[in-house]
Amino acid sequence: LDEAEHGVIYFCMGSNLKSKFFPEEKRNAFLKVFSKLKERVLWKFEDETLPNQPDNVKIQAWMPQNDILAHPKVKLFITHGGLLGTSESLTHGKPMVGIPIF
């Protein structure tokens, strides 16, 4: 995080919704947009590989969400809008883009 010159976007859809099960066209749409960003993207992705993963996207099955949201380089949280993530994001003053699934 510290080395992200242009900041970080954190993308997490919670613990119940597994982004590895997103339809391929949806996953590719996210990747296409993310690849055009100068920011780094941390994506909570529950598989070891992500086809077509751009260089600026890092995946991991689990991430310390509260610590990430507390980091000064994090510019945006993309979330499903769950209570815990929303509370943590508000606590740390991070803007959110909500993708309500439930």
Is the alpha carbon torsion for 30, 95, 4, 101 positive or negative?
negative
Is the alpha carbon torsion for 14, 15, 20, 23 positive or negative?
negative
49-73 confidence digits (pLDDT tens): 999 999 999 999 999 999 999 999 9
Is 85 domain-assigned?
A: no
pTM of the model: 0.94
Is 51 domain-assigned?
A: yes
Is 17 domain-assigned?
A: yes
Q: What is the CA radius of gyration of the chain?
A: 13
Task: Read off the DSSP letter of residue 98.
Answer: E
Tally of domains within the chain: 1
Residues spanned by the domain of 45: 8-80+90-98
Is 50 domain-assigned?
A: yes
Residue position matching structure tokens 């991070």: 94
67: CATH? 3.40.50.2000
35-54 confidence digits (pLDDT tens): 999 999 999 999 999 999 99
Is 71 domain-assigned?
A: yes
Is 35 domain-assigned?
A: yes
